[in-house]
Amino acid sequence: MIPEIGHFALTLALLLACVQVVLPLWGAARDRTAWMALGRPAAAGQALFVLVAFACLMWSFYANDFSVRYVVQHSNTALPWAYRLAAVWGGHEGSILLWLLILSGWTLAVALFSRHLEFGMLARILGIMGLISIGFLLFILFTSNPFDRLFPAALNGDDLNPQLQDPGLILHPPLLYMGYVGMAVPFGFAMAALLAGKLDAAWARWTRPWATVSWCFLTLGIALGSAWAYYELGWGGWWFWDPVENASLMPWLVGAALLHSLAVTEKRGTFKMWTVLLAIIAFSLSLLGTFLVRSGVLTSVHAFATDPKRGVFILLFLGIVVGGSLLLFALRAAQVGLGGRFATVSRESMLLGNNVLLMVAASAVLLGTLYPLLIDALGMGKLSVGPPYFNAVFVPLMAPALFLMGIGPIARWQRADAGGLARRLRWALAVSLAAALATPWLAGGWSAWTSFGYFLAFWIFASVAVNLGGRLAARPWREWWRVLRVQPGSYYGMLVAHVGMGVLVVGVTTVGSYEIERDVIMRPSETASAAGYVFRLDTISQRPGSNYIADRAVISVFRNEQRIAILTPERRIYTAAQSANPMTEASIDTGLTRDLYVALGDALEGGAWIVRIYVKPFVSWIWGGGILMALGGGLAVLDRRYRRRVAQADGCVAPVAAPPPPSYPDTGAAVPKRVETTA
Amino acid sequence: MRRAWGIAAGLVLACGLNLSLAAGREARPLAEDPALEARVMEIAEDLRCLVCQNETLAASHAGLAVDLRAQIRERLAAGEDRAQIIDFMVARYGDFILYRPPFQPNTWVLWVGPFVLLALALAIMARVIRQRREQGTGDEASFDEEAPS
Amino acid sequence: MKKQAWLPLLVFLVLVGFLAVGLRLDPRDLPSPLIDRPAPQFALPSVDAMDQVRDSGDLRGQVWLLNVWASWCVACRQEHGALMDFAAQESVPLYGLNYKDRHGDAVRWLRERGDPYVDSFFDGEGRVGIDFGVYGVPETFLIDREGRIRYKHAGPLTPELLRDTILPLIGALGA
Q: Quick: pLDDT tens for A229-287.
A: 998 887 788 999 999 899 999 999 999 999 999 999 988 888 899 999 999 999 999 99
Structural domain contains residue A194 = no
From A397, C108, C121, select the one nearest B115 (Cα to Cα).
A397
Domain count, chain A: 3
Q: Model-level pTM? A: 0.90
Whole-number Å distance between alpha carbons of A331 and A658? 28
Determine the pLDDT at residue A579.
Answer: 60
Average pLDDT over residues B47-73: 91
Q: Does A291 touch chain C (CB under 8 A)?
A: yes
Q: pLDDT band at A443, cuts 50/70/90?
A: confident
Task: Say if residue A434 is in the same domain as residue A525.
Answer: no
pLDDT of A669 above 90: no
Question: In this predicted structure, what is the pLDDT of residue B137?
Answer: 46
Residues of B in contact with A420 (CB under 8 A): 149
> Do A134 and A15 share a structural domain?
yes
- For residues A153 and A4, state if they share a domain: yes
Q: Which of A605, A609, A608, A585 shows the shortest CA–CA distance to A597?
A: A585
Residues A146, A224: contact at Cβ < 8 Å?
Answer: no
Q: Long-range contacts for A554-559 (Cβ within 8 Å, ≥24 apart)?
A: A555/A587, A555/A598, A555/A611, A556/B22, A557/A533, A557/A589, A557/A596, A558/A533, A558/A534, A558/B21, A558/B22, A559/A532, A559/A533, A559/A534
> ∠ CA A452-A453-A456 to the nearest 5 degrees?
85
The DSSP code sequence of C98-143 is EES--HHHHHHHHHHH---SSEEEEESSSHHHHHTT--SSSEEEEE
| 8 Å CB contact of C27 and A376 | yes
pLDDT value, residue A14: 95
Candidate ranges A303-312, A367-376, C1-10; pick with highest mean pLDDT = A367-376
Q: Are residues A3 and A140 in the same domain?
A: yes
Q: What is the mean pLDDT of residues B73-99?
A: 95
Q: By residue range, what is the domain housing residue A109?
A: 1-165
Of A48, A97, A93, the residue nearest A75 (C-alpha):
A93
Among A242, A525, A677, whose Cβ lies nearest the Cβ of B146?
Answer: A677
Residue B29, chain A, CB below 8 Å: the answer is: yes
Q: What is the mean pLDDT of residues A120-142?
A: 94
By C-alpha distance, the chain A residue nearest C32 is A382
Measured CA to CA, the distance from residue A222 to residue A247 in angstroms comes to 10
Average of pLDDT values for A296-322? 84
User: Does residue A678 carry a pLDDT above 70?
Assistant: no
DSSP state of A539: E
Beta-carbon separation of B51 and C130 below 8 A: no
ipTM value for the complex? 0.90
Chain B residue nearest residue C4, CA to CA: B124
Beta-carbon contacts of residue A413 (< 8 Å; ≥ 6 apart): A267, A268, A342, A346, A347, A348, B143, B145
Residue A674 lies in a domain: no
- Look at residues A146, A165, A184 and tell me which one is the last residue of a structural domain: A165
Please state, rounded to an integer, the average pLDDT across all residues of chain C.
91
| Measured CA distances, A51 to A45, A142, A599 (Å) | 10, 19, 41
Residues A437 and A580 both lie in one domain: no
Q: Answer for the pair B147, A471: CB distance below 8 angstroms, yes or no.
A: yes
Decide if A71 is inside a domain.
yes
Of B50-59, B91-100, C101-110, least confident by mean pLDDT is B50-59
pLDDT of residue A499: 97
- Inside any domain, residue A228: no
Distance between CA atoms of A194 and A376, rounded to whole angstroms?
Answer: 37
Centre a 10 Å sphere on the Cβ of residue A151 and count the other Cβ atoms it contains.
Answer: 6
Of A618, A634, A653, the residue at which a domain comes to its end is A618
* Per-residue model confidence as pLDDT tens digits over A75-101: 989 889 999 999 999 999 999 999 999
- Mean pLDDT over B32-45 rounds to 91
Let me know whether A533 and A499 are in one domain.
no
CB within 8 Å: C12 and A284: yes
Together in a domain, A17 and A160: yes
What was the pLDDT predicted at A644? 64
**For residue B49, what is the nearest residue in chain C, using CA coordinates?**
C135
Verify that A40 and A121 share a domain, yes or no.
Answer: yes
Instruction: Give the β-pairing of C43-45 and C53-55.
Output: antiparallel
Q: Cα–Cα distance between A253 and A669 in angstroms, integer?
A: 33
> Is residue A551 included in any domain, yes or no?
yes
Domains within chain C, CATH numbers bracketed: 29-172 (3.40.30.10)
Mean of pLDDT values over C139-164:
93
Check residue C151 and give its pLDDT: 94
Give the type of residue at A304.
F
B residues 47..76 contacting A (CB < 8 A)? 48, 53-56, 59
Per-residue pLDDT tens digits for A589-617:
999 999 999 999 888 888 899 999 999 99
Last residue of a domain, one of A618, A647, A671: A618
Residue B28 has pLDDT above 50, yes or no: yes
pLDDT (mean) for B31-43: 90
What local confidence, expressed as pLDDT, does residue A677 receive?
Answer: 37
CB contact under 8 A, C135 and B50: yes
Q: Within this chain, do residues A83 and A54 fall inside the same structural domain, yes or no? A: yes
Chain B and chain C share a number of CB contacts under 8 A equal to 34
The strand pair at A526-530 and A533-544 is best described as antiparallel
Contact B51 C135 (CB under 8 A): yes
Residues A4 and A57 in one domain: yes
How are strands ordered across the β-sheet holding A609-617? A587-590, A594-603, A609-617, A516-522, B28-29
Question: Is residue A30 domain-resident?
Answer: yes
Average pLDDT, chain A: 89
Q: Which of A467-481, A662-676, B76-90, C85-99 has the lowest mean pLDDT?
A: A662-676
What pLDDT is recorded for position A409? 93
- When pLDDT is averaged across residues C118-133 and rounded to a whole number, the result is 93
Instruction: Let me know whether A59 and A74 are in one domain.
Output: yes
Nearest CB among A280, A311, A334 relative to C23 is that of A311
Give the pLDDT score at A165.
86
The whole-angstrom separation of Cα A330 and Cα A508 is 40
Q: Is residue A105 within 8 Å of A62, Cβ to Cβ? A: no
3-state secondary structure of B80: coil
pLDDT reading at A188 higher than 50: yes
Distance CA B96, CA C49 (A): 38
How far, in Å, CA of C16 to CA of A164, rounded? 32
Query: Would you call A659 helix, strand, or coil by DSSP?
Result: coil
pLDDT in tens, A378-414: 999 899 999 999 999 999 999 999 999 999 999 988 8
**pLDDT score at A318:** 94
Determine phi and psi for A533, rounding to 5 degrees. -100, 145
- Asked whether residue A244 is assigned to any structural domain, the reply reads no
Q: Is residue A463 part of a domain?
A: yes
Per the rule left: phi > 0, alpha: psi between -120 and 50, beta: everything else, A429 is: alpha
On whether both A134 and A19 belong to a single domain, the answer is: yes
Three-state SS string across B12-53, please? Answer: HHHHHHHHCCCCCEECEECCCCHHHHHHHHHHHHCEECCCCC
